[in-house]
């Protein structure tokens, strides 16, 4: 019976992660600022959540538990990184982002995506904007996972080519 309980607990947790993962990843990304760190943060928080799964009494409290674990983990990481800060009389120069550059880049990206064929555009939007898995995209579009993979590969290659051409034009 103990084996059945473990399997059920694992399946329940796995189902929760499948369902709520994209939303939790967006929360993690807002805490970290980039996808790679967000994935690491979410993974750490989900590990803590898995070990506490039996103690989380209400299914409605699960998201709150994961969010709190992400915030606590992020704060601990920030403290660990900033332990050796010493005051100085010289203030280092700080890079100032040019807001026009970001809007130009966003505009360039949107125009490049708009030039993609309909299926490529749909798969890119579902994968990178809606954060859906390849299996979810395949189900949504009524195609196979292999078709999703090849379509995404072609779309990303075309977007890279467009980006390279735009950079060449900007430099000449």
CATH, domain range 2-80:
1.10.1740
Class for the domain spanning 99-171: mainly alpha
pLDDT at 153: 94
Confirm whether 2-80 and 99-171 share one CATH topology. Answer: no
Model confidence band, residue 149 (pLDDT cutoffs 50, 70, 90): very high
Model confidence band, residue 24 (pLDDT cutoffs 50, 70, 90): very high
What percent of the chain is modeled with pLDDT above 70? Answer: 82
Q: Residue 125: how many CB atoms within 10 A of its CB?
A: 15
Measured CA to CA in angstroms, residue 29 lies from 20, 33, 38, 101, 129 at distances of 14, 5, 5, 22, 13
Asked if 66 and 99 count as a contact pair (C-beta separation under 8 A), the reply is no
Asked if 41 and 62 count as a contact pair (C-beta separation under 8 A), the reply is no
pLDDT at residue 146 greater than cutoff 90: yes
Please report, for the chain, the start and end positions of each structural domain, with discontinuous segments joined by +. 2-80, 99-171
Give the span between the Cα atoms of 172 and 43, in whole angstroms. 44
Look at 36-40, 47-51, 97-101 and tell me which has the smallest mean pLDDT: 97-101
Task: Considering only residues 169 and 132, tell me which one the structure prediction assigns the higher pLDDT.
Answer: 132
Give the span between the Cα atoms of 84 and 156, in whole angstroms. 41
CA proximity to 127, closest of 97, 93, 150? 150
pTM tops 0.85, yes or no = no
pLDDT at 125: 87
């Amino acid at each position: 019976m103990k084996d059945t309980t473990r399997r059920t607990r694992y399946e329940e947790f796995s189902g929760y992660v499948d369902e709520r993962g994209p939303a939790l990843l967006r929360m993690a990304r807002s805490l970290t600022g980039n996808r790679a760190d967000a994935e690491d943060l979410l993974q750490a928080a989900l590990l803590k959540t898995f070990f506490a799964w039996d103690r989380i009494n209400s299914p409605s409290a699960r998201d709150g538990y994961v969010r709190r674990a992400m915030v606590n983990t992020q704060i601990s990481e920030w403290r660990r990184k900033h332990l050796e800060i010493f005051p100085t009389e010289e203030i280092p120069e700080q890079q100032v982002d040019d807001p026009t550059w970001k809007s130009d880049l966003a505009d360039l990206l949107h125009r490049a995506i708009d030039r993609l064929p309909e299926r490529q555009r749909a798969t890119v939007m579902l994968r990178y904007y809606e954060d859906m898995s390849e299996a979810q995209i395949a189900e949504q579009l009524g195609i196979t996972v292999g078709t999703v993979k090849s379509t995404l590969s072609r779309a990303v290659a075309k977007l890279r080519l467009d980006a390279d051409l735009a950079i060449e034009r900007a430099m000449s």
